[in-house]
Amino acid sequence: MRVVHLLTLGGFALAACNLTDGRGAAVPSGPQFAHDQDLVGTPDLIVDAQRLADSWVIYDQNLPSTLCSVQEGGVTPGVRRVLRFTVTTPNIGNADVFIGDPLEHVANNDGLFEFASCHNHFHFRHYATYELLDANTGKVWRAAKHGFCMIDVTPWQSDGGVGSWVYRICGTKTTHGNQGISVGYADTYFKWLGGQYFVLDGGDGQDPVPPGDYFIRITVDPPFPETAGDVCPHKDSAGSCHMLLESNYDNNVAIVRITIPDHPGKTGFGPGGGTDPQDEVIDDEKRPS
């Protein structure tokens, strides 16, 4: 049984999932369609709070002007102090999150995707929000991440219930994709991918982040207000819009408490330091395909 813990911060109900199964699993391999789609039922997305807590690291990193995360995030190129983190979003529902081919959505003009000129492909809109909150004042900083592509990356169930994956192709401006998250799988954005960071030194136009205690708050399929000219595919009981239909919108948030030091040291500060590249090895969604 999976247990969801609710934390409260500044009037918000924050769900942190105490989950460990499937973390750190190897990326699967095999044909694109490794098992049949499961579209009977309703998906349910959560955020793996334990993976987030284990992954974060602070260090000084050179961010060149060629990186899309620098261009899209309004980051001044050069050596920046960054807080990097991994986000894993499992589907624990009883049906796949099915998106399909971005080119079909664009052709239908349904508003689910937008074109990212730097990446030269389409991004799914409103998939997740990354926030850094001051533990004392509630002040919020936003991360550099803007675009998302949903694919099966991390097997989630460890009880033999998941044998293979379905969705593994993001697609490009001219090639077809197949996006979604199978039941029992998770999409994972590793911390060295483009945009998986907060800029702490003010180099992105936000206020510098002083040393102290903070919360990383990740929201998958976040609520947003219905506005003229924007899409509102689904609504929750409070009337907020969501891009994806889910059986439960109350478990979409994970929060992890962290401490930001005066100096991160030569090898970085945090539980996720010392094992991964300190440069962005991939600056967009060209993950396993």
* Residue 281: inside a domain: no
pLDDT at 72: 86
Distance CA 123, CA 147 (A): 5
* Residue 288: inside a domain: no
pLDDT at 28: 43
Q: Tell which residue, 204, 163, 240, has the closest CA to residue 74.
A: 204
* Residue 275: inside a domain: no
pLDDT at 281: 60
Distance CA 62, CA 220 (A): 29
* Residue 274: inside a domain: no
Domain count for the chain, please give it: 1
Q: Tell which residue, 181, 180, 182, 176, has the closest CA to residue 106.
A: 176
* Residue 270: inside a domain: no
**In contact, 215 and 9? CB cutoff 8 Å:** yes
Written in H, E and C, the secondary structure of the chain is CCCEEEEEECCEEEEEECCCCCCCCCCCCCCCCCCCCCCCCCCCECCEHHHHHHHCEEEEEEECCCCHHHHHCCCCCEEEEEEECCEEEEECCCCCEEEECHHHHHHHCCCCEEEECCCCEEEECCCEEEEEEECCCCCEEECCCCCECCCCCEECCCCCCCCCCCCCECCCCCCCCEEEECCCEEEEECCCECCCEEECCCCCCCCCCCCEEEEEEEEECCCECCCCCCCCCEECCCCCEECCCCCCCCCCEEEEEEEECCCCCCCCECCCCCCCCCCCCECCCCCCC
pLDDT at 35: 61
Residue 205 CB contacts under 8 Å (≥ 6 apart), including other chains:
74
pLDDT at 253: 98
pLDDT tens, residue by residue, 174-198: 999 999 999 999 999 999 888 899 9
Q: Tell which residue, 239, 273, 230, has the closest CA to residue 83.
A: 273
pLDDT at 276: 64
Task: Give the residue ranges of the chain where pLDDT is below 50.
Answer: 1-32, 284, 288-289
**In contact, 43 and 93? CB cutoff 8 Å:** yes
* Residue 174: inside a domain: yes
**In contact, 145 and 154? CB cutoff 8 Å:** no
Residue 25 token pair: 């699993």
* Residue 287: inside a domain: no
Q: Which residue has the tokens 């002040």?
A: 139
Residue 23 CB contacts under 8 Å (≥ 6 apart), including other chains:
48, 50, 51, 54, 88, 154
pLDDT at 158: 54
* Residue 191: inside a domain: yes
Range of the structural domain that residue 35 is part of: 4-260
